Amino acid sequence: MSLQSNKILIIGGGIQGCATAYFLAKRGQNVTLIEKDRIGRHASGVNAGGVRRLGRDVLEIPLSLAAMDIWQNLYQEIGEYAKDFHPCFYLKVAVDEAGREIGLMRAEDLSRAGFTHEVWVEDDHIQARLPHLSTPTHGGLLVEGDGWATPWRIVQGFANVAKKHGAKIIEDCRVTSLTKFQDFWQIQTAKGLFEAESVVNCAGAWAAGIARLADDHIFPLEAYAPMLVVTDKRPKILPAVMGVVAHTLSLKQLETGQFVIGGGVRSKASPSINQSDVLLPKLSSSMKLASKLFSEIGNAQVVRCWSGIEGYMPDNLPIIGRGRQNGLFHGFGFSAHGFQLGPGVGEALADLVMGQQPRISLEAFRPDRFVN
């Protein structure tokens, strides 16, 4: 098979890989993206679509805000596909006094750090904006302009504009080995041998394996399968995305009237065979909370449950930066909250690969932070 020469090769066709391909191609770089299955087949295409800054680790907020700048002008980047992003507001309510304490403390921490996007609101504000709420709250945290998107469409959008700008996207093509020769990489794949100056590892839950192939750092990345359910169509009662302080719940209502319920509860994943389990009963507490917030939801019928394979880091922060090997870059380990970050990560990785200074610090995401 003939050798295909590239300047930059990206491994993984999720949101991180596709956004990175787009920003590089837009800046005129010669880039090829390789995906072992199909674009958006894994976490990026099946996630809850939560586009939220709310509740982020303080260390992650600058990246999340940078990403949000792109989300807010998404039409300019990906055109038509941008209409699958629905900004509204994100509200995380406290359902008891303990939750209120935690929420108030969080609000204080944020304002001390100088962040103004996430604020505390009292129950009267919440009731006024959510008249169908079935229960009084103890206040909550609010972010205006956060929302939700149809994840698969957004990933397709980035892949498409990347292609328009000249990026090559190759699907059904698994990377099986990575070898460094002086100052270029040789990449063996299911569809032949590739050569590139730089390799970007956006392989999601499989990324530690890619790092191993490249003889890079050993990453303590673990794979799990967060679960979601969607209900049948119901009258519209929820104009926001919702969570509950100190609980793993995310709740939203789609334009069709269907509720999507999930958030954090995860099942077993077996990345080597592309398999993720679902164990519905594990979601029972989330269901209980959701029907407490809106009693109407208790009558809704669960139509489907699914899960996706996601890579988690021990500190729940991603790995973004240069690898140990020259010409190798990483962007993975998003620990179930990387969809919103995607466009920001793509931009930052494009900067790094091109030897430029990203507009935010990536210090907290250093790949070598687990090397002792």
Partner 1 sequence: MSLNQHYDLAIIGAGPAGMAAAVEASKNNLKVLVLDDQPAVGGQVYRQIDKNYHNSDELSYLGEDYWLGKKLVDNFWHSSAELLSESRVWQITRDKLIFFSQKGLAHQVQADFILISTGAMERPMPIPGWTLPGVMSVGGAQTLLKSNNSGVDGAVFAGSGPLFYLTIWQYLIAGLKIVAVVDTAPARLSLHHYLRAIPALLQLNLLLKGLRWKSYIRKNTKYFSQVRKVSISGQFAAESLSFIDRYGESKKLFASHIFLHQGVVPNVNLTMATGLKHYWCPRQLCWHPETNIYGESSLKGVFVAGDGSGIAGVGAAILSGKTAAKRIFQYSRRPPIFSIFLSKFKRYRHAAARPFLDNLFRPPKDWRVPFDDETIVCRCEALKKADISLAISLGVAGPNQLKSFCRAGMGRCQGRMCGLTIQQMIADHNNLLEKDIGYFRLRPPIRPLTVGELASMADENVPAK
Ligand X SMILES: Cc1cc2nc3c(=O)[nH]c(=O)nc-3n(C[C@H](O)[C@H](O)[C@H](O)COP(=O)(O)OP(=O)(O)OC[C@H]3O[C@@H](n4cnc5c(N)ncnc54)[C@H](O)[C@@H]3O)c2cc1C
Q: Does 216 bind ligand X (CB under 6 A)?
A: no
Q: Which is nearer to ligand X, 139 or 333 (CB)?
A: 333
Q: Which of these, 311, 218, 227, lies nearest to 271 by C-alpha position?
A: 311
Q: Which is nearer to ligand X, 107 or 207 (CB)?
A: 207
Q: Which is nearer to ligand X, 139 or 328 (CB)?
A: 328
Burial annotation 175-200 (CB, 10 A radius, 16+ → b, else e) = beebebeeebbebebeeeebebbbbb
Q: Cα(206)–Cα(201) distance, rounded to whole angstroms?
A: 9
By a kind-dependent CB cut-off of 5 to 8 A, residue 334 interacts, out of ligand X, partner 1, none, with ligand X
* The two three-digit tokens of residue 245, written as one number: 């302080």
Q: Which is nearer to ligand X, 308 or 358 (CB)?
A: 308
Residue located via tokens 């919702």: 242
Which helix or strand (DSSP H or E) is residue 262 part of?
strand 258-270
Q: Which is nearer to partner 1, 285 or 316 (CB)?
A: 285
By a kind-dependent CB cut-off of 5 to 8 A, residue 336 interacts, out of ligand X, partner 1, none, with ligand X
Q: Which of these, 141, 142, 137, 140, lies nearest to 95 by C-alpha position?
A: 137
Q: Does 232 bind partner 1 (CB under 8 A)?
A: yes
Residue located via tokens 């998107």: 149
Among 228, 261, 289, 362, binds ligand X (CB under 6 A): 228
Number of Cβ atoms within 10 Å of the Cβ of 84: 18
Among 103, 308, 344, 346, binds ligand X (CB under 6 A): 308
The CA angle 14-16-19, to the nearest 5 degrees, is 100
Least distance to ligand X from the beta carbon of 149, Å? 9
Least distance to ligand X from the beta carbon of 60, Å? 11
Q: Does 204 bind ligand X (CB under 6 A)?
A: yes
By a kind-dependent CB cut-off of 5 to 8 A, residue 305 interacts, out of partner 1, ligand X, none, with partner 1
The CA angle 150-279-54, to the nearest 5 degrees, is 40
By a kind-dependent CB cut-off of 5 to 8 A, residue 236 interacts, out of ligand X, partner 1, none, with none
**What string marks each residue from 144 to 183 as x (binds ligand X by CB under 6 A) or -?**
------------------------------xx--------
Q: Does 248 bind partner 1 (CB under 8 A)?
A: no
Q: Which is nearer to ligand X, 138 or 336 (CB)?
A: 336
Question: Of the ranges 34-42, 102-110, 163-171, 278-286, which one interacts with ligand X (CB under 6 A)?
Answer: 34-42
HEC readout, 13-65: CCHHHHHHHHHHHHCCCCEEEECCCCCCCCHHHHCCCEECCCCCCHHHHHHHH
Q: Cα(20)–Cα(299) distance, rounded to whole angstroms?
A: 42
Paired with 121 in beta bridges are 140
Q: Which residues contact partner 1 by CB under 8 A?
A: 38, 40, 45, 152, 229, 231-232, 259, 261, 268, 278-285, 287-288, 290-291, 297-306
Q: Which residues contact ligand X by CB under 6 A?
A: 11-17, 34-37, 41-44, 46-50, 174-175, 202-206, 210, 226, 228, 307-308, 310, 332, 334, 336-340
